Chains A and B, each alone.
Chain A
Amino acid sequence: MMKFLKEYLVPRLIQYFFVVFLGLTLVFFVPRLLPQDPIREIVGQFQQHGAGLDAKTVETMVATFRELFGLSGSWHEQYWSFWKRIIRFDFGPSFFRFPTPVSELLLRFLPWTLWIMLTSTFLAWLLGNIIGGIAGYFPGRRWSRLLDVFSVAVRPIPYYTFGLILLIFFAYTWRLFPLGGGVSVGRSITFSVASLIDILRHSFLPMLTLLVLNGVGWYHQMKLLVQNVKGEDFVRYAKAGGVKPWWVISQYVLRNAMLPQVTGLALAIGQSYSAAIIVEIVFSYPGVGTLLYEAIARADYNLIMGIAAVSILTVSTLVLIVDLIYPLLDPRVRYR
């Protein structure tokens, strides 16, 4: 036990905290290196839309915002205050959406993203691996070859284009789903069947986009892994020993081929953020993706920090969890 703690758990925990520290530090400094001033971006909003602000008004606005945003101190002071606040999950106010606190925005938008992102990522992983595994075991079957053609055709399509294709067919041509948003215009979310169905209708196409495009990726990887594993000696030995075929597939082939896919799942959560940004834009979906896109475009440091911090913590924690449960899945790691 002590050996496990000393040689396995503690190094990984140290690594985990180091990655989180480094990630959050980068998140603090990188936006500040952009040639962009968040306050001027806000003043620019007034001006871009046609409001002519005279110099006096601009000067007052800039001074007021600098004070309100907490950008008046040095970088050193801001960095120190950043760590003090982050422990309380307080990222300060969003600049562009001032005075709304970043934590409030995360609480408002994150559930939407988590709903489509986690559901579609997990379903894509599950279905992609199961179908890929079976197709890999029976590569010569007609349905397996058809699936190959479909996945090869779909996989290179960018998220934006694929989402748009679904939008045109399902929302414009056949009008089965809405064109965008999280709920219907004029309706608010309530605890009712109608409200639940409304949410499902609006999230179906974004989810389907992520599910299909992520799913074919898992399908390909799993198929290749299975084709590799099924030629291993222990599989041949099991077959020769009269083990039932489905037992061979599930316990001998899939279980071994799954190991790299489990690690991949944790990393995929992080990658899904970038896909979610695109998909949420196509479907005007009220998630954190559109929030992040806007935050970067407007140099909203606090909002970038808030979203990135959640992303870093989520991915790092998931990787840590996978690392910790890996010995349970792979006896070779346990015995080493």
Chain B
Amino acid sequence: MRIGRLFVILLVGMVLGCWCAAAFAQPREQTLIHDMLGSVVGTPDDFNTWAGWRWPHRGLHQYCLEPLWIAEPATGEILPLLAKEWPPSYNKDFTKMTIRLQEGIAWNDGVPFTADDIVFTVELHKNTPELLMHGPIAEYVKEIRKLDDYTVEIELSKPNSRFHAYLLDRWGALRPMPKHVFEKIEDPVKFSFNPPIGTGPYKLHSYDPSGYWTTWVKREDWDKSATGKLYGEPKPVYITARDFASEEARILALMTGELDMAFLSVEGMKAAMKAPHVRTWRREWPWNCNIDPFVPGIVFNNLKQPYSIKEVRWALALAINIEEFMSVAVDFMAPVSPIHLPPVPAYEKAYFGPMLEWLRDFELDLGNGEKFKPFDTEVPFKLAEAAKKRGYPVPDAPEAIRSIFGVGWWKYAPDIAEKLLKKHGFYKDEFGRWRLPDGTLWTIQLLSTSDPGTFEHRTMLGAADQWRKFGIGVETWTPVGFITLNLLGEFDVSTTWTALEPWGAGVDLYRTLWPFHSSQVRPIGEYVANAPGGAARWSDPRMDDIIGRMEAVDISDEETTVTLGLEALKILVEEMPTVPIYGGIAFLAWSETYWTNYPGAENLYPNPWHWWPNFKLALPFLKPAKE
């Protein structure tokens, strides 16, 4: 009987012990835990990011792999990591590029990183059609040569002043592969690369076979990673990337200290902020991180009537009351942008300054010699007033207001919009509804995503509201095939990004402008390569000419690069193929229970987004809270 009772007590004790065991296997105060953007890892056992989509933001590209160069939107610089310097040197006709490499770097299994790895990576990609970056490498690389252990020369089969772009990490690039691992593999496409061997400061510790978490552990020889060598010792011993299928669970995890860093919706961020240990990127209103280098807005299908008419596109822009729009779309929490660039540090001096002068004098031709200056520099102050009325603690200093609300946007001018439309035969019927020149009722089919938390959806709500008030019918359309329909051009007006995301660093706009080159335009029903910019299906001979001239300029020639960039931005304003509205924002919430000194607005040392490959650069600067 006694033995029986003892057994029951032991069993109950064991069960309770297991029940109350910590939720984490690693010491919590040495572990940084962040959420994952998007869905749970679909290929938990596979880390071969060169062969397909392998959820690199599970920590693989933040902590394990390192690129030659990386774009850093927080400072606007391009930083060398495995390369010794930025930029690479080209010969005069852009047919040879030389890369010098960092010395003293080793893969996380101890093998030194050398020029052999770069030569192997490029050659493997040239010869293996199934690898993701095969296309451009096979097209451009004639030969790659090792000049010494830390220098390679790539000979191109045709001139390309931007070949380095394929090796420059901005959420993806051709990152070096470990030759000593891949050379033993028969099929590099099917190879799962598990455990992954990288030069980054962390190596794989463990992962969930269902894909909900991946844990990385700091290398003992972290100083042999480029990150460690250049920026110092990363502070967390362990890092876990953890997915939560619902935002509610993520918020609760952040509030209970099960999560340190989370990317949330505005509503989620406001809820999480109620915990005293949770901080946001900006400690005061509007809390959000507004240096994300992309520009949401309106995208017209320029191959469809009546959106192929420039004046119609401009009329729709002038029919937007930006104060009301920003109230609906982002609750005043984003900076407006009148140009096809986000207002981030890299572009403020080079582009926003000079463009501001030009925008003030820019005129629209209304016909019969009548002109109209559409740019309104008072928009930031109007937005600030509107936000104040909503009860937000808006600062009074003009510089602070411009930093939060942007430099200006288009005037709300429905009367001018009316003149522009009437110029082309549009008219209002007796009920105040706009009709097309052929007499049919004008109804815009406005394509967007169904997720109310996305920029696309919120832009749709704001635009539909404004155009309905102006007298145009709007049918909102949120099908599951949003991406496909954008790429195919099966829409009238869409709400995807208005231009391809720029590098967010450096002054080169080639990447953003390229989707507007005539060679990229496809008829409706055929796929374009990129939805941002490309979905508009717009081109202009002047833009082709600028892109052609850019190709002949060395990127180290910043003056010419900026001049060409400004020319292109002016054409985009004049033609308005898409309407950029505001700079990208992200709502970041960080718990200071275990870690402090996050890269917040007051202390912005690197990019603050934990799902970006740049996040490795923040790790040496984090501080344990208990210290």
List A residues at the B interface (Cβ < 8 Å): 34-37, 40-42, 44-62, 64-65, 68, 94, 96-100, 108-109, 112, 164, 167-168, 171-172, 175, 178-188, 193-194, 197-198, 201, 280-286, 290, 294, 296-297, 299
Q: Are A281 and B245 in contact (CB under 8 A)?
A: yes
Q: Are A297 and B480 in contact (CB under 8 A)?
A: yes
- 4 tightest CB-CB pairs across the interface, nearest first? A186-B25, A51-B172, A60-B135, A286-B210
Residues of B with C-beta under 8 A to A58: 529-530
Q: Are B529 and A53 in contact (CB under 8 A)?
A: yes
Q: In the complex, A186 Cα to B430 Cα: how many Å?
A: 68
Name the distance in Å between A111's Cβ and chain B's nearest Cβ: 11
Is B52 positioned at the interface, with any CB of A under 8 Å from its CB?
A: yes
Q: In the complex, A188 Cα to B44 Cα: how many Å?
A: 13
Q: In the complex, A65 Cα to B190 Cα: how many Å?
A: 13
Residues of A with C-beta under 8 A to B33: 185
- Pick the contact of A34 from B213, B481, B527 — CB < 8 Å? B481
Q: In the complex, A108 Cα to B44 Cα: how many Å?
A: 11
Q: A40-B487, A44-B531, A286-B210 are in contact. Are A184 and B24 (CB under 8 A)?
A: yes
Name the distance in Å between B488's Cβ and chain A's nearest Cβ: 8
7 additional contacts, CB 8 Å, given A282-B248, A284-B212? A37-B527, A40-B487, A40-B527, A50-B294, A168-B252, A280-B245, A296-B480
Is B436 positioned at the interface, with any CB of A under 8 Å from its CB?
A: no
Name the distance in Å between A56's Cβ and chain B's nearest Cβ: 4
Q: Are B211 and A286 in contact (CB under 8 A)?
A: yes
- Pick the contact of B500 from A44, A52, A100, A112 — CB < 8 Å? A52
Q: A184-B24, A187-B25 are in contact. Are A54 and B245 (CB under 8 A)?
A: no
- Pick the contact of A50 from B170, B242, B485, B530 — CB < 8 Å? B170
Count how many chain B residues have C-beta atoms less than 8 Å from C-beta atoms of the other chain: 79
Q: In the complex, A75 Cα to B354 Cα: how many Å?
A: 55
- Pick the contact of B170 from A52, A59, A198 — CB < 8 Å? A52
Residues of B with C-beta under 8 A to A44: 483, 487, 531
Q: Tell me which of B213, B245, B490, B611 has the highest count of chain A C-beta atoms within 10 A of its own C-beta.
A: B245
Q: A59-B135, A185-B213 are in contact. Are A284 and B23 (CB under 8 A)?
A: no
> Can you sample 8 A-B contacts with CB below 8 Å?
A35-B480, A50-B501, A184-B23, A284-B243, A285-B245, A286-B210, A290-B40, A294-B39
Q: In the complex, A188 Cα to B209 Cα: how many Å?
A: 8
Is B43 positioned at the interface, with any CB of A under 8 Å from its CB?
A: yes
The number of A-B residue pairs with CB atoms under 8 Å apart is 210
Q: Are B484 and A35 in contact (CB under 8 A)?
A: yes
Which residue on chain B has the smallest CB distance to residue A163?
B246
Is B255 positioned at the interface, with any CB of A under 8 Å from its CB?
A: yes
Is B134 positioned at the interface, with any CB of A under 8 Å from its CB?
A: yes
- Pick the contact of B208 from A57, A94, A181 — CB < 8 Å? A181
Residues of A with C-beta under 8 A to B243: 284
Residues of A with C-beta under 8 A to B172: 46, 49-53
Residues of A with C-beta under 8 A to B135: 56-57, 59-61
Q: Are A282 and B256 in contact (CB under 8 A)?
A: no
Residues of A with C-beta under 8 A to B133: 57
Is B431 positioned at the interface, with any CB of A under 8 Å from its CB?
A: no
Q: In the complex, A57 Cα to B530 Cα: how many Å?
A: 11
Q: Are A198 and B25 in contact (CB under 8 A)?
A: no
Give per-residue flags for B498-527: 1 if the beta carbon is below 8 A from chain A beta carbons, else 0. Answer: 001100000000010010000110000001
Which residue on chain B has the smallest CB distance to residue A56?
B135
Residues of B with C-beta under 8 A to A183: 208
Name the distance in Å between A66's Cβ and chain B's nearest Cβ: 12
Q: In the complex, A172 Cα to B190 Cα: how many Å?
A: 42
Residues of B with C-beta under 8 A to A171: 252
Stretch from B13-21, B193-201, B465-473 at the A interface: B13-21
Q: Are B23 and A185 in contact (CB under 8 A)?
A: yes
Q: Are B43 and A194 in contact (CB under 8 A)?
A: no
Q: In the complex, A188 Cα to B479 Cα: how many Å?
A: 39
Is B139 positioned at the interface, with any CB of A under 8 Å from its CB?
A: yes
Is B330 positioned at the interface, with any CB of A under 8 Å from its CB?
A: no
Is B569 positioned at the interface, with any CB of A under 8 Å from its CB?
A: no
The DSSP consensus for interface residues of chain A is: helix
Q: Are B210 and A108 in contact (CB under 8 A)?
A: yes
Give per-residue flags for B529-540: 1 if the beta carbon is below 8 A from chain A beta carbons, else 0. Answer: 111100000000
Q: In the complex, A282 Cα to B171 Cα: how many Å?
A: 29
Residues of A with C-beta under 8 A to B246: 164, 180, 281-282, 284
Q: In the complex, A180 Cα to B612 Cα: how many Å?
A: 24
Q: Are A175 and B484 in contact (CB under 8 A)?
A: no
Q: In the complex, A193 Cα to B21 Cα: how many Å?
A: 13
Is B37 positioned at the interface, with any CB of A under 8 Å from its CB?
A: yes
Residues of A with C-beta under 8 A to B26: 186
Residues of B with C-beta under 8 A to A282: 245-246, 248-249
Which residue on chain A has the smallest CB distance to residue B530?
A47
Q: In the complex, A52 Cα to B139 Cα: how many Å?
A: 18
Residues of B with C-beta under 8 A to A184: 21-25
Q: In the complex, A171 Cα to B246 Cα: how many Å?
A: 14
Give per-residue flags for B23-61: 1 if the beta carbon is below 8 A from chain A beta carbons, else 0. Answer: 111100000010001111011011000001100010000
Residues of A with C-beta under 8 A to B532: 47
Q: In the complex, A134 Cα to B213 Cα: how many Å?
A: 46
Q: In the complex, A294 Cα to B211 Cα: how many Å?
A: 13
Residues of A with C-beta under 8 A to B213: 181, 185-186
- Pick the contact of A35 from B19, B134, B490, B529 — CB < 8 Å? B490
- Pick the contact of A52 from B24, B25, B481, B530 — CB < 8 Å? B530
Name the distance in Å between B560's Cβ and chain A's nearest Cβ: 22
Is B130 positioned at the interface, with any CB of A under 8 Å from its CB?
A: yes
Is B393 positioned at the interface, with any CB of A under 8 Å from its CB?
A: no
Name the distance in Å between B244's Cβ and chain A's nearest Cβ: 5
Q: A193-B15, A197-B15 are in contact. Are A53 and B530 (CB under 8 A)?
A: yes
Q: In the complex, A56 Cα to B129 Cα: how many Å?
A: 12
Q: Are B25 and A197 in contact (CB under 8 A)?
A: no
Residues of B with C-beta under 8 A to A48: 38, 483
- Pick the contact of A41 from B38, B208, B258, B483 — CB < 8 Å? B483
Q: Tell me which of A35, A52, A56, A60 has the highest count of chain B C-beta atoms within 10 A of its own C-beta.
A: A52
Residues of B with C-beta under 8 A to A49: 37-38, 57, 171-172, 611
Residues of B with C-beta under 8 A to A41: 483-484
Q: A112-B210, A198-B18 are in contact. Are A185 and B249 (CB under 8 A)?
A: no
Residues of B with C-beta under 8 A to A109: 210
Q: Are B170 and A108 in contact (CB under 8 A)?
A: no
Residues of B with C-beta under 8 A to A194: 18, 21
Give per-residue flags for B242-265: 1 if the beta carbon is below 8 A from chain A beta carbons, else 0. Answer: 111110110011011010000000
Q: In the complex, A266 Cα to B483 Cα: how many Å?
A: 38
Which residue on chain B has the smallest CB distance to residue A184?
B23
Q: In the complex, A169 Cα to B159 Cα: how many Å?
A: 64
Q: Are B479 and A35 in contact (CB under 8 A)?
A: yes
Is B215 positioned at the interface, with any CB of A under 8 Å from its CB?
A: yes
Which residue on chain A has the smallest CB distance to residue B192?
A99
